[in-house]
Amino acid sequence: MAASNASPQPSGPHQELVEALQELHRAAGRPSSRKVSTLIRHREDLRSAASHESVRSAVNGIRVPRWETVHDIVVVLSGQCSPPRDEESETARFLPLWRAIGEGESGALKSFQELLNGGWGGEDGKWTPELVMGAVLNPFNAIEIHPSLAVPHEPLVSEDDWVRLMVKEIEEQGAEHTLRVLLHMLKGDYVGAEEGAPYGYRNPGREALEAYAAFRYGCQEILRRLSCEPNLLAKSIRAMRADETMDRDDRAEMLENESDLSLMHEVMIVTPETWDEVSEEAHHMVFGYLIKQISPVGPLGLPDTERFQITWRIPEPPAA
C-alpha cells in the first residue's frame, strides 16, 4: 500500500486559527494564493513578503505560519471583503489566536494593540489579567500626580518615540531607577517645575493667574500710596506722558482710553474711598498711570511683597 502524503490536520489552537483564516478568505471572495501574495508584496507597509506557497500553507493549515505572515494575509484579505473590514480590528482579533498556538491558551495577556482595540475586558463581571494589570500599574495608586502635568497641551514627541526612549533608559539604568524617577517627576519635581510647566512648554493658565495676582497686588499698593500721597495720580500721569521709553502700542491704547470722557471722569475721582465705586476699566487706567512695570521675582507661594517687584513712575519717597 502506498504511503499517504496527506499533511496532518491542524488541531486545537492551530485549528481555530485556520478556521478563522478560512472564514476571512471566504468573505474576501476566495482570492488565489498568488493574488494574495502579490497584494502583500505591493504593500510597502507589510512585513512578510509572503510567497503564494506561504499563503496557501497558512490558509490550509499545512504548517504554523509566522505572525508576520498571518498579519499580512489578514490585512490583505480584510481589504478584499465587501464591505472591507477594519485592518486593525481584524489583526487584533487574529493575534491571540496565533499566540495561543505557542502559549497554549487564548487567555494569555493581551498585547497593547489588543488592549487598544478590545479594552480591558471584564464586561461579564469577571476579572481579566488585563484588569488586574491595569489596576496594579496605575501610578494613581502610589502618588498624587501634580496638576501642572494634567493640563491640555501639544505633545513634543510621539508615543512611540517616548516608549523607545524609556526602553533605552531602562536598559541602561535599570527598571527600578527609571520607574522611581518617573514617579518623582509625576509628583511635580520635573525640569521646568519652577516655571510651572515642563521644559519646552508654556503654561497659559499659570500665566493668566500670575497676571491677575500681579494686578491685584499692584492695586493694593496703589491704594496704599494714594492714601498718603494725594497728588500721586496727577504726578504719575505727567511722568507717563513724559516717558519716552513707553511702548508705542501701550501709549496708543492709553491715548484711546483717554478719549473716553466718562472713563476719564472716573479716573480723576479715584481715591481709596471711591476705588470700589469706579469701573474695572478705571482701575486698569490708574494702574497704567502709576505703575511702569510689575514683574514676578519669586516663585508661587511667596508673599506678594516678595513675589512681585513694582517699578513706579513716581518712586516712593524714602521712609521717614
Cβ–Cβ < 8 Å for 110, 79: no
The sign one gets for the Cα dihedral 218, 224, 225, 227 is: positive
- Mean pLDDT across 257-286: 93
Average pLDDT value for the chain = 86
Residue with cell 485592518: 87
* pLDDT at 276 (0 to 100): 94
Q: What is the pLDDT of residue 2?
A: 45
**Spatial separation of the C-alpha atoms in residues 276 and 178, rounded to whole Å:** 55
Checking if the pLDDT of 157 tops 90, the result is: no
CA 167 to chain centre: 20
Confidence tier at 4 by pLDDT (50, 70, 90)? very low
CA–CA distance, 124 with 127 (Å, rounded to integer) = 9
How does residue 156 score in pLDDT terms, banded at 50, 70 and 90? confident
Per mean pLDDT, which range of 20-29, 164-173, 191-200 is the poorest? 191-200
Higher-pLDDT residue of 178 and 201 is 178
**Rounded CA gap, 196 and 199, in Å?**
9
Q: Which residues, in sequence order, are bridge partners of residue 310?
A: 294
C-alpha cell at 112: 497593547
Supply the pLDDT for residue 307: 87
The answer to whether 149 touches 190, Cβ cutoff 8 Å, is yes
Burial 85-96 (b: 16+ CB within 10 A, else e): bebeebbbbbbb
Closest CA to 76 of 102, 47, 105: 47
Condensed to tens digits (0 to 9), the pLDDT of residues 82-116 reads 999 999 889 888 988 888 887 655 445 666 766 77
Instruction: Flag the least confident range among 23-27, 240-244, 283-287, 297-301.
Output: 297-301
Q: Which amino acid, 214?
A: A
